[in-house]
């Protein structure tokens, strides 16, 4: 007994392991496919969009503002004209110096005047070492580059170029790089941040861009982060975050819009020149002078900013917004300074291997959910909730300055989970179909050949015990040949039922009942067919009470319910015909009372032993009762006989197909 139990447990574990393996394989293939799609770069734009969306909904920053923008808008251009004269620029810089700012950035390289009037501005720039002038130096088209002023020292020049992603939006910036001539150049923002930190900390602040220039591989760049004094900023790499094989030349950094969602401190040029400015708004600040007008063509596109100067001017609510160059430089400066003086607000990413492990883990979570629940609709609900959890985790990590691969993780989770769920459903459907085929075959064998064989066996036994009963050899051979033919025809009839008569019930080789008929008609046909069988029990019966199957006409039954009732009636009648000894009366009773349907088959023969020939039929009847949410019972009927009863409750909801 113990050995059999152990063998059964081992068999069940082996079976479950095999089934689980068959379910995991499709999900694993989906996870691998998602990873391959990400490696190909097809998810790059979607990952950028998710980063922008999360960043846009980040809470506003409460950090102290260290940058003030002096904007030149359309109204200012109407007064100053285009380009702005050297006299106005010189007066602007002189006016700003009176407020004692730490550094001034002049982001108007395209408007810088040339000629004799430039000498006035040149003298002012030379006399003010805290002024950083912008240039355009990284454009592939040489005619688009704008050279810096001639007399300005190199340490007072920074390029205003930014890195634009293939979708046309801004997410990263170049802090330092070499131009086509091999000259090391620094951005306007990095120059301003370094100057501010040097004066704030009263110490030299180094910015090691030379190490970046010498780093030719991704591994080298990862090992040489960006340093501003003691602050360490992660270097942008070709596969950072959602980027795939991006251009990471020079020293680049991801912009962390999530940590920089705050209003800008702005001053208009006309207000500055009129002296209408509170000195506290400019003192000890970094001042960036630049254009805030569309006509100046110094603007970019972003979907990561909650508000920009242009959106506040135009009251637009569209997620894609125009952001001016001076805003970009302000964001970069604040990100560097906050990381150096307060908190690390640089946007970080995981190594490639960790990101793909993260994606695979979420995919396996989806597979585990579907394998555990074993229901497509429950899996869909659970996967939806888990997806929300995944998105929440990704959003929370972004607030903590970590950009995780949310889009491929969601695809792996949902794709692997749904594939596993519906593959499991198909497997279970196939198993159910096999089980149904086996059950139908059993029904055909049990209610046909086995009943015939049982009757033959009883007749032979009776012949051996009762010399008055005569059973010739020819009769036995005839019944055995009929039995052989019927057994051989079962396969063909089951095949026909499976592929051609899905809504039918097999009775014998040539008889199928259409289950679309009313239940009363079906039961009448089963009743008449079965009683016409040449069974010994039926020959003795003298009293037949015609049943009233119309009592079941209002019952709400599915096709499988109808099949079950017909089989129950057939099997019960066959038991009477084969096994009810000395029966002279047969009564089929159909009742409906107190919302309970009852189908009873009563005979007055010698009662059947429940452990005897009807045992297999009893299991069949119990299964039918369970299908109808009812009960089955076989009990002695007084004064003599057997009662077989199937009862089931009335259904409130319509299930009839």
Of 44, 18, 5, 28, the closest CA to residue 417 belongs to: 28
CA distance 55 to 258: 4
Phi, psi of 402 (to 5 degrees): -125, 125
Q: Is 463 exposed, middle or buried (0-12, 13-18, 19+ CB in 10 A)?
A: middle
Q: Write down all domains in the chain, each with its CATH number in brackets.
A: 2-49+352-417 (no CATH), 64-341 (no CATH), 503-657 (3.30.565.10)
- Residue 192 contacts residue 287 (beta carbons within 8 Å): no
Report pLDDT for 383. 94
Report pLDDT for 480. 73
Cα distances from 229 to residues 11, 201, 206, 314, in angstroms, run 67, 10, 5, 40
- Residue 418 contacts residue 383 (beta carbons within 8 Å): yes
pLDDT 10s digits, 551-574 = 888 888 988 889 889 888 888 888
Report pLDDT for 11. 44
Residue stretches of the chain with pLDDT short of 70? 1-23, 81, 110-118, 141-143, 202-225, 229, 296, 313-316, 424-452, 454-472, 475, 478-479, 482-502, 508-510, 607-617, 652-657
Report pLDDT for 377. 86
Phi, psi of 306 (to 5 degrees): -65, -45
């Amino acid at each position: 007994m113990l050995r059999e139990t152990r063998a059964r447990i081992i068999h069940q574990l082996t079976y479950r392991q095999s089934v689980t393996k068959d379910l995991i394989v499709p999900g694993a293939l989906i996870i691998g496919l998602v990873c391959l799609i990400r490696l190909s770069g097809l998810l790059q734009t979607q990952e950028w969009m998710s980063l922008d969306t999360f960043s846009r909904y980040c809470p506003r920053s409460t950090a102290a503002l260290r940058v003030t923008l002096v904007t030149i808008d359309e109204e200012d251009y109407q007064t100053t004209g285009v380009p702005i004269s050297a006299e106005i620029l010189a007066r602007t810089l002189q006016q700003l110096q009176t407020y004692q700012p730490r550094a001034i950035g002049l982001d108007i390289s395209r408007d810088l005047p040339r000629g004799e009037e430039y000498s006035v501005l040149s003298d002012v720039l030379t006399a003010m070492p805290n002024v950083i002038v912008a240039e355009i130096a990284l454009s592939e088209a040489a005619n688009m580059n704008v050279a810096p002023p001639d007399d300005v020292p190199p340490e007072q020049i920074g390029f205003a170029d930014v890195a634009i992603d293939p979708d046309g939006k801004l997410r990263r910036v170049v802090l330092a790089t070499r131009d086509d001539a091999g000259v090391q150049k620094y951005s306007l923002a990095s120059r301003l941040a370094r100057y501010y930190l040097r004066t704030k900390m009263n110490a030299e602040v180094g910015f090691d861009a030379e190490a970046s220039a010498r780093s030719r591989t991704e591994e080298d760049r990862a090992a040489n982060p960006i340093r501003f004094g003691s602050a360490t900023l992660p270097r942008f790499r070709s596969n950072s975050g959602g980027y795939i094989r991006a251009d990471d030349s020079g020293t680049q950094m991801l912009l962390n819009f999530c940590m920089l969602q705050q209003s800008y401190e702005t001053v208009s040029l006309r207000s500055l020149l009129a002296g209408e400015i509170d000195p506290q708004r400019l003192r000890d600040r970094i001042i960036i002078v630049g254009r805030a007008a569309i006509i100046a063509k110094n603007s970019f596109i972003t979907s990561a900013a909650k508000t920009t100067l242009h959106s506040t001017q135009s009251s637009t609510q569209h997620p894609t917004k125009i952001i001016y160059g001076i805003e970009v430089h302000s964001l970069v400066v604040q990100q560097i300074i906050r990381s150096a003086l307060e908190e690390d607000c640089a946007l970080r990413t995981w190594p490639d291997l960790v990101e793909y492990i993260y994606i695979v883990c979420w995919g396996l979570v989806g597979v585990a959910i579907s394998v555990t629940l074993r229901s497509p609709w429950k899996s869909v609900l659970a996967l939806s909730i888990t997806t929300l959890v995944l998105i929440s985790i990704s959003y929370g990590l972004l607030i903590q300055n970590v950009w995780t691969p949310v889009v491929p993780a969601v695809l792996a989770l949902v794709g692997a989970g749904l594939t596993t769920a519906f593959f499991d459903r198909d497997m279970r459907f196939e198993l159910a179909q096999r089980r149904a085929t086996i059950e139908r075959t059993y029904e055909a064998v049990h209610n046909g050949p086995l009943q015939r064989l049982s009757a033959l066996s009883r007749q032979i036994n009776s012949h051996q015990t009762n010399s008055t009963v005569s059973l010739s050899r020819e009769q036995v051979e005839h019944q055995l040949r009929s039995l052989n033919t019927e057994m051989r025809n079962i396969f063909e009839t089951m095949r026909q039922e499976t592929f051609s008569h899905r809504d039918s019930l097999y009775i014998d080789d040539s008889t199928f009942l259409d289950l679309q008929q009313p239940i009363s008609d079906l039961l009448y046909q089963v009743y008449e067919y079965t009683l016409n069988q040449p069974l010994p029990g039926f020959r003795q019966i003298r009293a037949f009470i015609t049943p009233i199957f119309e009592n079941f006409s209002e019952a709400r039954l599915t096709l499988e319910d109808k099949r079950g009732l017909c089989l129950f009636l057939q099997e019960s009648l066959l038991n009477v015909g084969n096994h009810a000894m000395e029966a002279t009366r047969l009564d089929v009773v159909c009742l409906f009372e107190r919302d309970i349907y009852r189908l009873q088959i009563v005979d007055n023969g010698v009662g059947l032993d429940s452990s005897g020939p009807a045992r297999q039929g009893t299991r069949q009847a119990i299964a039918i009762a369970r299908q109808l949410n009812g009960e089955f019972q076989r009990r002695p009927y007084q004064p003599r006989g057997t009662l077989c009863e199937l009862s089931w409750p009335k259904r409130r909801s319509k299930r009839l197909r």
